[in-house]
Chain A
Amino acid sequence: MRYGECDVAVIGGGPAGLAAATAAATEGASVCLFEREEKTGGILKQCIHDGFGLIRYGEKLSGPEYAYREWLRFRESGAELRLETFMTAVEKEGNGFLLTLTDSQGILKYRAKTLVVACGCRERTDRQVGIHGFRPAGIFTAGQAQAYINLDGRMPARRCLILGSGDIGLIMARRLTLEGAEVVGVYEIKHEPAGLSRNIAQCLTDFSIPLHLGCTVTEVAGRDRVEGVYTVRVDKNLVPIEGTEEFVPCDTLILSVGLIPENDAFEALGWEIDPVTSGPRVDSCGMTSVPGVFSCGNSLHVNDLVDYVSESGETAGKAAAARCRASESLPGRPIPVRAGSGVGALVPQSAAAEGSANPVDFFFRSRQTLASCRLSVTADGKEIFSRRYETVRPPEMEKVTLDLSLLPPGTGGLLFSLLPDECGSVESETAGYEIIDETVCIECPRGCRLRIGRRPDGSIAVFGNSCPKGKLYGERETENPHRVLTTTVKTVFGDCPRLAVRTDGPIPRSALKDAQRLTDAVTVREAVLPGTVLIQNFGGWGVNLIAASECHP
């Protein structure tokens, strides 16, 4: 049996774990990162679409590129990495923890002073949303379909229906369409979409895929392979309306019905779970209710932005390292943080008191869509912070940063509430313009709702953008919409039969399908790294086709 020791043990090598390990090692702690798979990057390895890293790198990267950059940082940090190592048990031991791990050389016992849990999340399945019928082949979670198509190049569908308008489902609607499948529609039980507006715009609207709100699937037809599904409309309380059943023929049902933080292996430690986020309750350092155990990324709460995932990893990693240094010095009593009216998920659930990381980032989601409202944060009843929002939507996680050093000592608690905005909205800015188009800016995840107005003299103006990029986007969108193509190409390597690729700039939206067809004919025969140019001036659109992930024999 092999034994090891470190200050900080990080479990999970996705973006959260990589950032945590890098941060802890940079602080001088001895760090070991354990990852189950043969490569770091977590779920990003299969998320070949773009839009990652706007905040962290100021660029629109694909998932594998983002993961690659995080790995490069990690490699510099001096932390130890153990791949294909699976944690089977964890227990408290003295002031620290004892991990039991399995790899292909045997059993590994690791002692660590602190733990950072970064195990990501898993997807809810058809069974967890009460779908009945036989159990034929052809029912996949969106993440599974994503792995099959993007990593292995297997085609799970010809004609499919997507249940749930979560982001992965939306992204897969586009991927499936580009790879030649027909997506008959995205069905969402709620009366508003669950995914980011930007994904609705560029994954559904772009491809004329219908989105059916207030609709769900009750039953799957087919014994051996899916032959169709029964859909039904639901009322305001999400109860099926009789007489609205419809049979939709299809060969595949893809589910994008929610993610659940993956923490089961650590429950033995006895930490407290937040029923709203399904992750552990943490303080502003990412420390759970079990001292010395930290949580970050999607195993803390489901994030829609990987940039925030990395941030939370850094916070946890730094604090875990600090805790190893500070012998026994317990911080003061943490300040409880509560969600008030209108606020759903809220992380962290408490703010560590004096001496800890300051300012503190808070992440929250609204419980329902609210137009013109404001976030009010009160400390013991006194408002300490307020921010106006044009709209808040549950799918879009909002971040606010508060400086808590200004709080009076002995503050009893913080309360986050969403209140109607008394100032009312300013509607008059579009006066004199005819609104000719409404769209969503896809330049960054904020997804501002843009309205394009035209004056009688023909001049165009963009409303609703929060930054100049949005104005440019709105203008181009009315004239000639452009998109980045993200897809895969064949390789000759058995271990990575498909390579993620993208254009390094946008091409006309109308050319996406032609561009996809061009990539279908490409085969990569030599090792490449993310960023390697595969085809210059791809298709004559003035952009290059570049590799987004790596492959080698």
Chain B
Amino acid sequence: MKKNRIKRKLADSGIIFIENEFSALLFGETENWEEKINAGCLAAKITAKPVANYILCRNGENPEAPVIPSCSDDETDGIEYDVAVIGGGVVGAAVLRELSKWNLKAVLLEKECDLAFHASGRNDGMIHPGFAAKPGSKKAYYNVRGNEMYTQLTKDLKVPFVRKGSMILLANPLYRLAVPYMLRRAQKNGVPGCRYLSKKELYREEPNLACRAAGAFLMPTSGQLSPQKLVCALAENAVQNGAAVRLQTAAVDFRFEKNRITQIVTNRGVIKVRAVVNAAGGWADWVAARAGDPLFTLHFRKGEDLILDKKSSAFIRRIYAMPRLSQVKSKSKGGGLVPTVEGNTLVGPTAHEVCSRDDYSTARGDVLELEKHIRLNEKLSDRQIITYFAGIRACSYDEDFIVEPSKRVDNLFHLAAIQSPGLASAPALAEEAVDWVVKLLSREEPVSPNPSFNPVREDKRYDYDLMSEEEKDAFLKENPLYGKIVCRCEQVSEGEIRDVLRSPVPPTTLDGIRHRARAMTGRCHGGFCTPKIVRIMIDERKLKSADIVKKNRFSPLFFGETKEEQ
């Protein structure tokens, strides 16, 4: 009955709802983006199929097509690959690494000039426990599996990771009644170790809590890591094991034979492929449509975070938040305090619908909204804010992940609408996709495991941080440049910067160095170290001042040199 009411409501506002074999389609016009999204969400309630929302906004709010990199050459022209992964976020990178375990020629195509440029470089880095997702959803399934995989994965990839555990603070004693339901949900999703913390236990663990909580629900498997580091590490390890990463290469079009994609047209030539994985994040719907399978469309939810000075680490142990009852049903978890592996504290994220796939600008109001979380802890204050950032989650209308082979194209697999907890789920999602790819390709000829696959990525800084002082001393004698500290806030050495510049997927931008080495991220925000890093980069790569860029070719730091004809 509800179904009919919704259908009528949509019809009344002039919106056409039709279902075809694969999707539910929406056509018509709305005044603005918000109304369009509302219509999409309504539609999702009455169909089990993905929603493809083709409503036009009269005010012109319509998300853009991707910006195709302006460089164009034939670098990739004619190269044959077994598998192409589209998208260099955490999902694409995890898929590439998973593929590199097999004797397959795999390539990752990323349109930006570095990895983790979009959602995967702009999130909280939390490895969620898998509690929040609805039991039975794909989110719940892959999140719990992914979370489990992170212990071994981060050890192999040498990415610092800690399971700090996260807590839902119970705002008043009545909320305790919800604990049995929460435990049941945890059990259904398969989240291990959850338990109730009494008020006493809670305050013993977190003596700086400023709010009056009646207790807490603890999920001990929650962890945190640097998402940028992880994405780069996944891709580097894949490259070491024979896979390829092609940056500034966008998948623009596809060529078919019958129902199979045989060629991908990029701005740098046409490559030949036998299977394709769509991990294009915020553009996954665009890529799907290009690839002949307009199964779904995405909508976009922006989130902002504040970053607090490392000093905050002394005052907070676990990840926590105090959600209001009204938030429990809402789509976002409302944000909270997230102590990071490096010692900073993230505050956030917020959540609001936007009509853009990549508008990462921040605004004052959104940031102010987050200060309520800071007040949860009496030792934290807005004076400790060192910076803030925004990211965008790409969502489907039923808010679940899309993890499935295309029904229209025989050799295409979608990993789309991977919103939060996409980072936590990525390793499990990758397994799923690669499992399918291997089966598919095995039908043509047997696919064998890569005999020389080495899961371990080398990272001297990671090793260094785990060394005893004697070992450090010996290490520095062998690696003297590691004793030359360049970034004083994060204690990053010249040796580390040079190693990053020589890594298997080397950065070409200052942001790329920042993501991999954390230099320029501290409280001085690169004030002291950026000039030094610029010098190292120029020396290492034999560049000129004008070649140094922040994020891409259009963001040069300098207009040449002084005393030069300009």
Residues of A within 8 A of B (CB): 1, 36, 84, 86, 88, 100, 102-107, 122-123, 125-128, 130, 132-138, 141, 143-144, 147-149, 151-158, 179-180, 218-219, 223-225, 251, 264, 267, 488-490, 498, 520
Q: Which of B470, B526, B531, B552 contacts A148 (CB 8 A)?
A: B531
Report yes or no: A148 in contact with B558, Cβ–Cβ below 8 A: yes
Q: How far is the CA of A98 from the CA of B38 in the complex (A)?
A: 63
Is B528 positioned at the interface, with any CB of A under 8 Å from its CB? yes
Residues of B within 8 A of A (CB): 311, 360-364, 367, 385-389, 469-470, 472-474, 476-477, 480-481, 483-485, 488, 491, 523-528, 530-531, 534-535, 545, 549-552, 554-564, 566
Enumerate 15 A-B pairs (CB-CB under 8 Å) in ascending A order.
A1-B473, A102-B483, A106-B483, A122-B523, A125-B386, A125-B525, A125-B527, A127-B386, A136-B550, A141-B527, A147-B531, A148-B534, A154-B557, A156-B559, A180-B562
What residues on A are CB-neighbors of B554 within 8 Å?
223-225
Q: Which of A126, A132, A134, A498 contacts B562 (CB 8 A)?
A: A498
Chain A nearest Cβ from B464, distance in angstroms: 10
Chain A nearest Cβ from B63, distance in angstroms: 16
What residues on A are CB-neighbors of B556 within 8 Å?
137, 225
What residues on B are CB-neighbors of A126 within 8 Å?
525
Report yes or no: B561 in contact with A154, Cβ–Cβ below 8 A: yes
Q: How far is the CA of A442 from the CA of B164 in the complex (A)?
A: 58
What residues on B are CB-neighbors of A144 within 8 Å?
526-527, 530-531
Q: How far is the CA of A68 from the CA of B539 in the complex (A)?
A: 28
Known: A102-B483, A132-B361. 15 other contacts (CB 8 A): A1-B469, A36-B488, A88-B491, A100-B469, A105-B480, A106-B477, A136-B555, A137-B550, A144-B526, A144-B530, A148-B534, A148-B558, A149-B562, A152-B534, A156-B559
Nearest A-chain residue to B389, judged by Cβ: A135
Q: How far is the CA of A251 from the CA of B473 in the complex (A)?
A: 46
Q: Which of B485, B552, B558 contacts A36 (CB 8 A)?
A: B485
Check A103/B563 contact, CB under 8 A, given A125-B524, A133-B361.
no
Q: Which of A1, A84, A224 contacts B484 (CB 8 A)?
A: A84
Report yes or no: A264 in contact with B385, Cβ–Cβ below 8 A: no
Report yes or no: A155 in contact with B562, Cβ–Cβ below 8 A: yes
Nearest A-chain residue to B493, judged by Cβ: A102
Q: How far is the CA of A180 from the CA of B559 in the complex (A)?
A: 11
Nearest B-chain residue to A123, judged by Cβ: B527
Nearest A-chain residue to B67, judged by Cβ: A223
Q: How far is the CA of A1 from the CA of B469 in the complex (A)?
A: 8
What residues on B are CB-neighbors of A153 within 8 Å?
545, 561-563
Q: How far is the CA of A149 from the CA of B550 in the complex (A)?
A: 18
Check A152/B531 contact, CB under 8 A, given A1-B470, A1-B473.
yes
Report yes or no: B474 in contact with A156, Cβ–Cβ below 8 A: no
Chain B nearest Cβ from A137, distance in angstroms: 4
Chain B nearest Cβ from A83, distance in angstroms: 11
Q: How far is the CA of A136 from the CA of B550 in the complex (A)?
A: 8
Report yes or no: B551 in contact with A224, Cβ–Cβ below 8 A: yes
Chain A nearest Cβ from B468, distance in angstroms: 10
What residues on B are CB-neighbors of A498 within 8 Å?
562
> Which among A125, A135, A136 has the greatest number of chain B C-beta atoms within 10 A?
A135
Q: Which of B362, B476, B549, B557 contacts A106 (CB 8 A)?
A: B476
Nearest A-chain residue to B386, judged by Cβ: A127
Q: How far is the CA of A176 from the CA of B369 in the complex (A)?
A: 38
Q: How far is the CA of A489 from the CA of B562 in the complex (A)?
A: 9
10 A-B pairs with least C-beta separation: A137-B550, A104-B480, A224-B554, A137-B555, A224-B555, A104-B483, A106-B473, A86-B485, A127-B387, A125-B525
What residues on A are CB-neighbors of B360 within 8 Å?
134-135
Q: How far is the CA of A468 from the CA of B469 in the complex (A)?
A: 61
What residues on B are CB-neighbors of A133 within 8 Å?
361-362
Q: How far is the CA of A128 from the CA of B306 in the complex (A)?
A: 11
Q: How far is the CA of A123 from the CA of B545 in the complex (A)?
A: 24
What residues on B are CB-neighbors of A152 within 8 Å?
531, 534-535, 545
Report yes or no: B484 in contact with A106, Cβ–Cβ below 8 A: no
Q: How far is the CA of A130 from the CA of B386 in the complex (A)?
A: 10
Q: How far is the CA of A2 from the CA of B491 in the complex (A)?
A: 20
What residues on A are CB-neighbors of B484 within 8 Å?
84, 103-104
Check A137/B551 contact, CB under 8 A, given A125-B525, A147-B531, A225-B556.
yes
What residues on A are CB-neighbors of B557 within 8 Å?
137-138, 154, 156
Q: How far is the CA of A345 from the CA of B171 in the complex (A)?
A: 42
Q: How far is the CA of A157 from the CA of B562 in the complex (A)?
A: 10
Q: How far is the CA of A154 from the CA of B483 in the complex (A)?
A: 27
Chain A nearest Cβ from B368, distance in angstroms: 10
> Which among A127, A134, A488 has the greatest number of chain B C-beta atoms within 10 A?
A127
What residues on A are CB-neighbors of B389 within 8 Å?
135
What residues on A are CB-neighbors of B566 within 8 Å?
155, 158, 180
Q: How far is the CA of A135 from the CA of B364 in the complex (A)?
A: 14
What residues on B are CB-neighbors of A143 within 8 Å?
527
What residues on B are CB-neighbors of A223 within 8 Å?
554
Chain B nearest Cβ from A41, distance in angstroms: 14
What residues on A are CB-neighbors of B480 within 8 Å?
104-105
Report yes or no: A488 in contact with B524, Cβ–Cβ below 8 A: no
What residues on B are CB-neighbors of A135 within 8 Å?
360, 389
Nearest B-chain residue to A141, judged by Cβ: B527
Chain A nearest Cβ from B246, distance in angstroms: 21
Q: How far is the CA of A1 from the CA of B475 in the complex (A)?
A: 11
Report yes or no: B530 in contact with A105, Cβ–Cβ below 8 A: no
Chain B nearest Cβ from A146, distance in angstroms: 10
Q: How far is the CA of A36 from the CA of B484 in the complex (A)?
A: 8
Chain B nearest Cβ from A194, distance in angstroms: 18
What residues on B are CB-neighbors of A104 within 8 Å?
476, 480-481, 483-484
Q: How far is the CA of A263 from the CA of B402 in the complex (A)?
A: 50
What residues on A are CB-neighbors of B476 within 8 Å?
102-107
Report yes or no: A490 in contact with B563, Cβ–Cβ below 8 A: yes
Nearest B-chain residue to A495, judged by Cβ: B535
What residues on A are CB-neighbors of B555 within 8 Å?
136-138, 224-225
Q: How far is the CA of A498 from the CA of B562 in the complex (A)?
A: 9
Q: How far is the CA of A143 from the CA of B363 in the complex (A)?
A: 26
Q: How far is the CA of A152 from the CA of B363 in the complex (A)?
A: 34
Q: How far is the CA of A218 from the CA of B367 in the complex (A)?
A: 13
What residues on A are CB-neighbors of B562 within 8 Å?
149, 153-155, 179-180, 488, 498
Chain A nearest Cβ from B70, distance in angstroms: 12
Q: How far is the CA of A127 from the CA of B385 in the complex (A)?
A: 8
Nearest B-chain residue to A101, judged by Cβ: B483
Report yes or no: B364 in contact with A132, Cβ–Cβ below 8 A: yes
Q: Which of B367, B550, B558 contacts A154 (CB 8 A)?
A: B558
Chain A nearest Cβ from B149, distance in angstroms: 32
> Which among B528, B554, B563, B566 has the greatest number of chain A C-beta atoms within 10 A?
B563
Nearest A-chain residue to B383, judged by Cβ: A128
Nearest B-chain residue to A225, judged by Cβ: B555
Q: Which of A127, A132, A154 contacts B534 (CB 8 A)?
A: A154
What residues on B are CB-neighbors of A155 within 8 Å?
545, 558-562, 564, 566
Q: Which of B469, B530, B551, B559 contacts A157 (CB 8 A)?
A: B559
Nearest A-chain residue to B526, judged by Cβ: A144
> Which among A130, A136, A218, A490 has the greatest number of chain B C-beta atoms within 10 A?
A130
What residues on B are CB-neighbors of A123 within 8 Å?
524, 527
Report yes or no: B361 in contact with A134, Cβ–Cβ below 8 A: yes
Check A224/B387 contact, CB under 8 A, given A122-B528, A498-B562.
no
Q: How far is the CA of A153 from the CA of B544 in the complex (A)?
A: 11
What residues on B are CB-neighbors of A132 within 8 Å?
361-364, 367
> Which among B311, B480, B523 has the greatest number of chain A C-beta atoms within 10 A?
B523
Nearest A-chain residue to B548, judged by Cβ: A154
What residues on B are CB-neighbors of A86 within 8 Å?
483, 485, 488, 491
What residues on B are CB-neighbors of A488 within 8 Å?
562-563
Q: How far is the CA of A127 from the CA of B344 in the complex (A)?
A: 16
Chain B nearest Cβ from A528, distance in angstroms: 17
What residues on A are CB-neighbors of B469 within 8 Å?
1, 100, 107
Q: Which of A36, A102, A138, A520 contacts B563 (CB 8 A)?
A: A520
What residues on B are CB-neighbors of A490 within 8 Å?
563
